[in-house]
Amino acid sequence: MRSIANDMQTIVKHEVDENHSEGSILFKVVGESDDRYGNTNQIDAFSLQFSMDDLKQINWSNFYTGNLLNLGKIVGETGAGELLIDKYCDADREESEYFCAVGTAR
pTM given for the model: 0.84
Number of domains in the chain: 1
Contact in structure between 7 and 98 (CB atoms under 8 Å):
no
Domain span holding position 13: 2-103
Q: What is the pLDDT of residues 77-104, one digit of tens each?
A: 988 899 899 999 998 888 899 999 988 7
Per-residue pLDDT reduced to its tens digit, 30-77: 988 888 899 998 989 999 999 999 999 999 999 988 899 999 999 999
Whole-angstrom Cα distance, residue 45 to residue 70? 17
Query: Confidence class of residue 106 from pLDDT cuts 50, 70 and 90?
Result: low
Three-state secondary-structure class, residue 16 = helix
Mean pLDDT, all residues of the chain = 90
| Cβ-based neighbours of 8, under 8 Å, separated by 6 or more | 27, 48, 50, 68
Contacts of 45 (CB under 8 A, 6+ apart): 29, 30, 31, 77, 78, 80, 81, 84
